[in-house]
Amino acid sequence: MSLLTIAETPVADLRRILELGAAVKADPLSYRGALGGRSIGLFFQKQSLRTWVSCDVAAIQLGIHPIVIRNDQTGLGTRETPEDVGRALERYLDLLGMRVFDHGDLAAIDAATEMPLVNLLSDREHPCQAVADLMTLAEHRPIEGSKVAYLGDGNNVCHSLMLATTKAGGSITVATPPGYEPDVDVVALARTFGDVDLTEDPHGAVTGADAVYTDVWASMGQETEADLRRRHFARFQVDDAVMTAAGPEAIFLHCLPAHRGEEVTDSVMESGRSRVFDQAENRLHAFKAILLHLLG
């Protein structure tokens, strides 16, 4: 069993992972060493701080030996094919986590191997992030019936958030500039689970929201578009006026890294409504839950 997308994760599995995440966070000591004797790989084709460190520490605390594999040493798709990388690694590892540019590489490796594979971010989704996002939302109010507003790029993080929120019983409004909407297939799938509104009006989107979420305007690999995107996205910055429009109960979420002064102001990042470092912490508990679900 792999975890490549929230799209492919059954609702019951998502609920179980969220329950496990809350349980390991509440009582981490009772899970110490629970998966002893295993080895996992953590493969990075792009930069990472939170995912790298939280997954490494999660593995160690569960008794697993983690091995961080850097693409500049291994050459996915250049030194050898993704399938051959996966077929070699499955002879050593109990599970492989991968951060890749092209989601197709993950799908190819998953098809070529029996080893559980976890998406640590691709161009399509960021499922481990979505588990931590929902854990953070659930610490604020029950996800069932809650409303999330996402402002910015309809990207990987937005896709996983839309699918996870609706599968867990919430609704979501996504406000993007024209041309930056989330993928139509992801929207259609999320709508089979809950309400998904798309809009170009950021203030309208956040009205009545329990959480306001944003992500960088230019994701890793889109750096050359950064100037253009800063112009296109300027109206979608989460500032104090946006948080006021959301109402006093709304929390602020961001997967991080944040580009302060672009998609979010310092003032919102540092406000009492910001839960971004709780969210970052929850990446640790979320990855433990995913490991326990896939290997337990």
Q: Is 126 a catalytic residue?
A: yes
Q: Check residue 274 and report its DSSP letter.
A: B
Give the contacts of 91 (CB within 8 A, at least 6 positions apart).
Answer: none
Q: Is 283 a catalytic residue?
A: yes
Of the listed 255, 275, 279, 285, which one is catalytic?
A: 255
SS3 label, residue 21: helix
User: With CB under 6 A as the contact rule, which of the stretches 31-39, 149-157, 163-171, 182-190 interacts with ligand NVA?
Assistant: 149-157
By CB under 6 A, tell whether 50 contacts ligand CP.
Answer: yes
CA-CA distance, 261 to 194, in Å (whole number)? 33
By CB under 6 A, tell whether 255 contacts ligand CP.
Answer: yes
Residue 69 backbone dihedrals phi, psi, to 5 degrees: -115, 115
| Chain position whose Cβ is nearest to ligand NVA | 219
Give the contacts of 27 (CB within 8 A, at least 6 positions apart).
Answer: none
SS3 content of the chain, % helix, strand, coil (to 5): 45, 15, 35
* 156, interface contact from ligand CP, ligand NVA, none, CB < 5-8 Å by kind: ligand NVA
Q: Check residue 296 and report its DSSP letter.
A: -
SS3 label, residue 33: coil
Rg (C-alpha) for the chain, rounded Å, is: 18
User: With CB under 6 A as the contact rule, which of the stretches 24-32, 84-92, 154-162, 240-248 interacts with ligand NVA?
Assistant: 154-162
* 9, interface contact from ligand CP, ligand NVA, none, CB < 5-8 Å by kind: none
Of the listed 99, 275, 285, 293, which one is catalytic?
A: 99
Of the listed 50, 124, 126, 293, which one is catalytic?
A: 126
By CB under 6 A, tell whether 155 contacts ligand NVA.
Answer: yes
Chain contacts with ligand CP (rule: CB under 6 A): 48-51, 121, 129, 255-257
- Positions marked active-site: 99, 126, 129, 215, 255, 283
Binding site for ligand NVA (CB under 6 A): 121, 155-157, 215-216, 219-220, 255
